Amino acid sequence: MKESELLRIEVLEKLIRREIKQKVGAKMLGITIRQTRRTLKKYKLEGSKGLIHKSRGKVSNNKISQEKLDQAIQLIKDKYWDFAPTLANEKLLENHQIKISTEKLRQEMTMVGIWKSKTRKKAHVHQLRERRACFGELIQLDGSPHDWFEGKAPKCNLNVAIDDASNISFYKFSKTETTQDYFKLAEEYFLKYGLPLAFYVDKHSIFRVNTPTKLDLKKPTTDENEGLTQFSRAMKELGIELIFAETAQAKGRVEKLNRTLQTRLVKEMRLNNIYSIEEANIFLPKFIKKFNQKFSVKPRSGVDMHRRLDKNIDLTKILCLKKTGILSKNLTFQYSKTIFQIKTKRSAFTLRKTIVTICERYDGIIKVFDNKGKLLEYTTIKQLPNTKSIDSKIINSRMDDILIQEAQKNYKKRNPWESDFDEFTNDNYYSKPIGAV
């Protein structure tokens, strides 16, 4: 018997001797008066044996059969060998209709050596910030460079957006973390939900100018966009505030989402045989819908703070790289190491020295507008050599492309009719220096 059951005997004996009332005895036993009467009656009939639960020592009716556990473990070894217990349990139920508690599956996976329990790291205390109350009030943005295709394709980047109030997330794959890729993500988000009040971002050069500008040198300027990046300029035109995080922990919600996606999304793409950015972006809407249903939370307020897109707002003119230039006497201007010339039916003299705005979209389309906002037609004259320095996050992607091109260039399919003797009969073979292969 347990110690608690032995203590019950002492109280029940006092009740039999009428030393205490049933109300007091029930309070001492921690049960109701009615239950006290039943327990006392059973004790009088069966003695101390009546206080022991009848199921003690017997196999539970709800115990999972060993065959079911063995089947689950075998499926995990075959298909989900590197899945964590929680995700593996979801896949067993979703794909194989095997229902097991996550804790039981964790114990079995640990026992057979598939899963090794992780030691809890020492917690670093950071001041907690309460979630925003409304959906669309604050959106956290970040990029997550990772080996998303597990070595079967070059490493790439996932641009991620998550609502601070509801955990509703939205993301898109790209080669690297660039301004144009954030424009593409932002446009799709705006068309789906609307314009949020603010974006919470880090101090990456995409979002903030981190080098001295003319304003820092105290030189007079009339450009209201001086000191702004292309992304911050676009958000200013749309009336969206940019808030910069001082530390990674400050925007911990999007950082945690990155870690979760690096575990779950990678395995989901593996199960669906997805190993390219194009295929992954087609797969993402289905995954995002399912992911948000599982991990989103209900905001404290039911008010949606997103502003609907006005008919006068043209995102193609805002979410783009903008640069101003001055037309030469020949109506030419230079942009992105390319010389363009304006085509016009009017006299060229009327457009000389005109200030034009060049807008380059993420899809590569370039549009030119005059100072009155009129669209101008142009033609390409000359392509100049590129001498522009490359961003540190882009150089790895460029090198991967070069290595792939070299590997494809050097790979030659051997002619099955060609014999090894042909190599020695080649005239060039004897012209090789000694030791050459």
Instruction: Return the axis-axis angle of helices 277-295 and 252-271, rounded to nearest 10°.
Output: 120
pTM across the whole model:
0.72
Q: Name the average pLDDT for the chain.
A: 84
Could you tell me which residues come within 8 angstroms of residue 287 by beta carbon, excluding any fewer than 6 positions away?
Answer: 265, 268
pLDDT tens string 168-215: 999 999 999 999 999 999 999 999 999 999 999 999 999 998 876 544
Q: What is the DSSP letter of 38?
A: H
Q: Would you say 321 and 178 are in contact if contact means Cβ atoms under 8 Å apart? A: no
pLDDT tens string 368-389: 998 888 888 888 887 777 655 5
Give the pLDDT confidence score for residue 430 in this predicted structure. 39
What region does 30 belong to: left with phi over 0, alpha with psi -120 to 50, or beta?
Answer: left
Higher pLDDT, 38 or 385: 38
The three-point CA angle 434-436-437 to 5° equals: 140
- The C-alpha atoms of residue 300 and residue 132 are separated, in whole angstroms, by 8
Work out the pLDDT band at 63, boundaries 50, 70, 90.
confident
Strands of 338-343's sheet in order across: 321-326, 355-360, 366-369, 375-383, 338-343, 332-335
Give the pLDDT confidence score for residue 390 in this predicted structure. 60
15-35 mean pLDDT: 90
- The C-alpha atoms of residue 346 and residue 230 are separated, in whole angstroms, by 33
Higher pLDDT, 140 or 334: 140
Give the pLDDT confidence score for residue 331 in this predicted structure. 87
Count of C-beta atoms within a 10 Å radius of residue 137:
21
Q: Would you say 331 and 206 are in contact if contact means Cβ atoms under 8 Å apart? A: no
Pairing of strands 375-383, 338-343: antiparallel
Higher pLDDT, 64 or 421: 64
- 173 is written with which tokens? 């794959």
Cα atoms in the Cβ-side hemisphere of radius 13 Å centred on 102:
9
Q: Tell the CATH superfamily of the 139-211+225-295 domain.
A: Ribonuclease H-like superfamily/Ribonuclease H (3.30.420.10)
406-427 mean pLDDT: 52
Place of tokens 């790979």: 411
- The C-alpha atoms of residue 186 and residue 202 are separated, in whole angstroms, by 16
pLDDT tens string 106-116: 999 999 999 98
Higher pLDDT, 116 or 217: 116
34-59 mean pLDDT: 84
2-17 mean pLDDT: 82
Higher pLDDT, 234 or 310: 234
- For 201-213, b/e burial (b = at least 16 CB within 10 A) is bbebebbbeeeee
pLDDT tens string 331-369: 888 888 888 888 887 776 778 888 999 999 999 899 999
247-260 mean pLDDT: 91
102-128 mean pLDDT: 82
- 354 is written with which tokens? 């005109």
> 3-class DSSP state for residue 392?
helix
Q: Would you say 339 and 381 are in contact if contact means Cβ atoms under 8 Å apart? A: yes
Give the pLDDT confidence score for residue 359 in this predicted structure. 93
Residue type present at position 318: I
Q: Answer yes or no: is pLDDT of 302 > 70.
A: yes
